């Protein structure tokens, strides 16, 4: 609220105009009411005068009709007489009702009514006296005097009405004069207040300009300080960005160089031995293959961290997935780590990529094992969970709702707050050289966030660590994906099956075609979409289109759509090293799409080609 002096200062400029407004409004109300009353009085006076004139006219019509009938004996003269005889009574009653509020006029009506009725009675007797053939004079009696007396009374009543109306008009005129004087006075006051307000406004404008100059000076100084601060912050952000990029590129370069060193070294030794005729190169072939596969896995982890990996989500029971991994987990942990699995009953389903979730669990298990070099206990738990508004308020990256909780805990060395803050950063690791890339937890984070979930780490030095993964509850159908277990011989082609390979990279096209031929397929190859469509038209027995997605001119999705128009029964399998949105939307494969990511092994190629051709 305002203080008393401030309140008074704010009120004073409006007090006089408000008072003037109230007075003017009051006077206008009075004058308006007087004018309305005058209008009503004028109408009332006119009604009284009209009624008096009507009475006078009726009496005159009666006189004329009576005299004409008595002189001529013609019944036609009785019509105005009859009109006057029947109308004079209602006219007197109406006059009585109109002047009921005026005592002078009430007395006049009291005098007028017997006179008029007496005259009408005289005319009635005269009409009744008449007989055909009678020549005696008509007994008029005192009729003319009665008629004249009635006219005198009517004239007096009209004069009274004119007097009342004149007084009312003079009263309104006086009020209008007062209002005119008030208007002049109000105009004077308003002009005085306006001059005073103009003076105050000028003073305030000068004060405001002074204040604005001071404010502009302060703003200029503040803007300069903010500019300097932003420059410093930009420099700091640039340093941090370059440090992060340096760490990322350094980690990638380090790991890829190691893998390339293995691959190149193994291939060099293989080439030298083969040149010498020594075919004992299986060990070096395996080393080169392992290096290449590690490079592919590193690429997938980077895509997972960036949330750019392609997911194939299905409805999944996490309990079944964890139970199916029990043997693999025991082999991974070794004999020094005890394992406890606590699976919740009635666990909700989730909608995630089963293969990627399996990889996430393995990453967490490997991290837990490495944090317990002297052995310990690993616990895997599942539960139904609800993240409420309170939890969401502290973690803005997750919406409230129902989730399935997957929790992995260990009794290892734990993490300090500084380490915990950087745990999800790519290539950040506390492990010794050669024992980790620093991409495990970043891959976990990227997959969970891409799946619409939330991940949180709780840890203290010396007290182990707990990683909690929250995946959104799935309310859809109960169909679920099962992680395929591959074993046994590679599936081969059936008789007459033809595969059309479309790949713009010549080396990849040649190796892919050769691999499929080794599996027994007849292979046709094209370096682009136009050539592929020509081959498709020339060879109606082509059973499968195996096409790269990222190609110049026509991408793989466009090629497949056009091919399906020509051959609706054609099976399609896509391959790519990375794609943004041709067959992937929101990180998920479009429905009905099958994808084989690069790099791939001959085993993976053989199985997915067979599955697509068999409609699995």
Q: What is the pLDDT of residue 305?
A: 44
Percent of the chain with pLDDT over 90: 13
Q: How far is the CA of 551 from the CAs of 148, 302, 505, in angstroms?
A: 124, 23, 9
Closest by CA to 514, choosing from 536, 499, 530, is 499
DSSP state of 371: T
pLDDT in tens, 88-118: 889 888 888 888 778 888 888 888 889 888 8
Closest by CA to 573, choosing from 512, 501, 467, 497, is 501
Q: How far is the CA of 492 from the CAs of 497, 518, 525, 574, 608, in angstroms?
A: 10, 9, 19, 19, 11
Q: What is the pLDDT of residue 408?
A: 92
pLDDT in tens, 310-351: 567 888 899 999 988 887 788 878 788 888 899 998 999 998
Mean pLDDT lowest among 45-49, 307-311, 392-396, 462-466:
307-311
Q: What is the pLDDT of residue 10?
A: 56
Closest by CA to 20, choosing from 175, 201, 178, 183, is 183
Q: How far apart are CA 416 and CA 407, in angstroms?
A: 20
Closest by CA to 339, choosing from 331, 330, 327, is 330
The token pair at 104 is 């002078």
Q: What is the pLDDT of residue 261?
A: 57
Q: What is the pLDDT of residue 93?
A: 85
| Mean pLDDT, residues 197-205 | 80
pLDDT in tens, 482-516: 444 444 578 888 888 999 999 998 888 998 999 89
Helix axes 143-275, 282-305, angle to 10 degrees: 160
Mean pLDDT of the chain: 77
Long-range contacts of 106-115 (CB under 8 A, 24+ apart): 108/153, 108/156, 108/157, 108/160, 109/157, 111/153, 112/55, 112/150, 112/153, 112/154, 112/157, 115/146, 115/149, 115/150, 115/153
Q: What is the pLDDT of residue 551?
A: 85
The arrangement of strands across the sheet holding 595-597 comes to 522-526, 498-502, 542-548, 571-576, 595-597
Bigger pLDDT: 410 vs 258? 410
Bigger pLDDT: 162 vs 132? 162
Question: Are the C-beta atoms of residues 437 and 429 closer than 8 Å to each other?
Answer: yes
pLDDT in tens, 563-591: 999 999 999 998 887 655 545 544 455 66
Q: How far apart are CA 282 and CA 295, in angstroms?
A: 20
How many CB atoms within 10 Å of residue 164?
A: 17
Where are the chain's structural domains?
12-198, 313-472, 498-614
Mean pLDDT lowest among 195-204, 243-252, 335-344, 368-377:
243-252
Q: What is the pLDDT of residue 135?
A: 41
Mention every residue, 6+ apart, whose C-beta is less than 8 A from residue 15. none
Q: Does CATH number 1.10.10 belong to domain 12-198?
A: no
Bigger pLDDT: 93 vs 2? 93
Q: What is the pLDDT of residue 272?
A: 65
Q: How far apart are CA 183 and CA 210, in angstroms?
A: 40
Predicted confidence (pLDDT) at residue 214 exceeds the cutoff of 60: yes
For residue 200, how far is the Cα from the chain centroid?
48
Pairing of strands 465-472, 376-387: unpaired
Q: What is the pLDDT of residue 20?
A: 65
Considering the domain 313-472 in this protein, what is its CATH number? 3.30.565.10
How many CB atoms within 10 Å of residue 291?
A: 20
Predicted confidence (pLDDT) at residue 309 exceeds the cutoff of 60: no
Pairing of strands 498-502, 571-576: unpaired
CATH class of segment(s) 498-614:
alpha beta
* Confidence at 139, pLDDT banded by 50, 70, 90: very low
Phi and psi at 555, nearest 5°, equal -80, 170
Please, how many CA atoms are within 13 Å of residue 158, restricted to the half-sphere of its CB? 15
Percent of the chain with pLDDT over 70: 74
pLDDT in tens, 428-479: 565 544 444 545 677 788 888 888 888 888 888 888 889 999 999 988 765 5
* Confidence at 144, pLDDT banded by 50, 70, 90: confident
């Amino acid at each position: 609220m305002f203080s008393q002096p401030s309140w008074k200062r704010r009120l004073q400029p409006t007090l006089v105009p408000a008072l003037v407004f109230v007075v003017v409004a009051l006077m206008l109300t009075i004058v308006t009411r007087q004018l309305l009353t005058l209008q009503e009085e004028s109408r009332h006076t006119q009604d009284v005068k009209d009624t008096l004139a009507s009475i006078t006219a009726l009496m005159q019509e009666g006189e004329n009709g009576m005299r004409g009938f008595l002189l001529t004996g013609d019944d036609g003269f009785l019509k105005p007489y009859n009109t006057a005889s029947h109308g004079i009574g209602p006219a007197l009653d109406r006059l009585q009702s109109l002047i009921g509020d005026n005592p002078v006029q009430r007395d006049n009506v009291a005098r007028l009514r017997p006179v008029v009725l007496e005259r009408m009675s005289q005319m009635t007797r005269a009409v009744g006296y008449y007989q055909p053939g009678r020549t005696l004079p008509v007994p008029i009696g005192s009729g003319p005097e009665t008629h004249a007396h009635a006219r005198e009374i009517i004239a007096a009543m009209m004069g009274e009405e004119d007097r009342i109306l004149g007084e009312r008009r003079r009263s309104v005129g006086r009020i209008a004069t007062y209002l005119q004087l008030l208007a002049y006075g109000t105009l004077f006051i308003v002009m005085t207040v306006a001059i005073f307000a103009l003076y105050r406004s000028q003073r305030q404008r000068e004060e405001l300009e002074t204040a604005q100059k001071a404010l502009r000076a302060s703003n200029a100084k503040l803007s300069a300080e903010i500019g300097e601060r932003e420059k410093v912050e930009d420099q700091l952000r640039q340093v941090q960005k370059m440090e992060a990029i340096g760490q990322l590129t350094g980690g990638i370069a380090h790991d890829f160089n190691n893998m390339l060193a293995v691959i190149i070294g193994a291939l060099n030794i293989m080439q030298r031995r083969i040149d010498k005729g020594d075919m004992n190169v299986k060990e070096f072939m395996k080393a080169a293959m392992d290096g290449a596969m590690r490079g592919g896995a590193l690429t997938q982890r980077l895509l997972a961290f960036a949330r750019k990996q392609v997911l194939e989500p299905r409805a999944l029971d996490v309990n079944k997935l964890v139970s199916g991994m029990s043997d693999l987990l025991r082999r991974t942990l070794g004999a020094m780590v005890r394992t406890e699995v606590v699976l919740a009953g009635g666990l909700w389903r989730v909608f995630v990529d089963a293969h990627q979730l399996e990889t996430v669990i393995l990453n967490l298990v490997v991290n837990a094992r490495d944090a317990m070099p002297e052995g310990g206990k690993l616990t895997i738990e599942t539960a139904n969970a609800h993240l409420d508004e309170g939890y969401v308020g502290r973690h803005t990256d997750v919406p409230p709702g129902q989730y399935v909780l997957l929790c992995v805990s260990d009794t290892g060395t734990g993490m300090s707050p500084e380490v915990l803050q950087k745990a999800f950063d790519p290539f950040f690791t506390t492990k010794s050289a050669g024992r980790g890339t620093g991409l495990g937890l970043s891959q976990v984070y990227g997959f969970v966030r891409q799946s619409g979930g939330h991940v949180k780490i709780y840890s203290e030095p010396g007290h182990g660590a707990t990683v909690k993964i929250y995946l959104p509850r799935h309310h859809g159908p109960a169909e679920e994906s099962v992680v395929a277990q591959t074993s046994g011989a590679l599936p081969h082609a059936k008789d007459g099956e033809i595969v059309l390979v479309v790949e713009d990279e010549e080396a990849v096209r040649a190796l892919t075609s050769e691999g499929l031929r080794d599996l027994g397929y007849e292979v046709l190859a094209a370096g682009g979409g136009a050539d592929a469509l020509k081959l498709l038209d020339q060879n109606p027995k082509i059973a499968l289109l195996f096409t790269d997605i990222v190609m110049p001119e026509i991408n793989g999705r466009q090629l497949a759509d056009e091919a399906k128009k020509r051959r609706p029964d054609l099976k399609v399998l896509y391959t790519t090293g990375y794609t943004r949105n041709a067959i992937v939307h929101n990180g998920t494969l479009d429905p009905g799409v099958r994808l084989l990511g690069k790099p791939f092994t001959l085993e993976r190629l053989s199985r997915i080609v067979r599955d697509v051709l068999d409609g699995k």
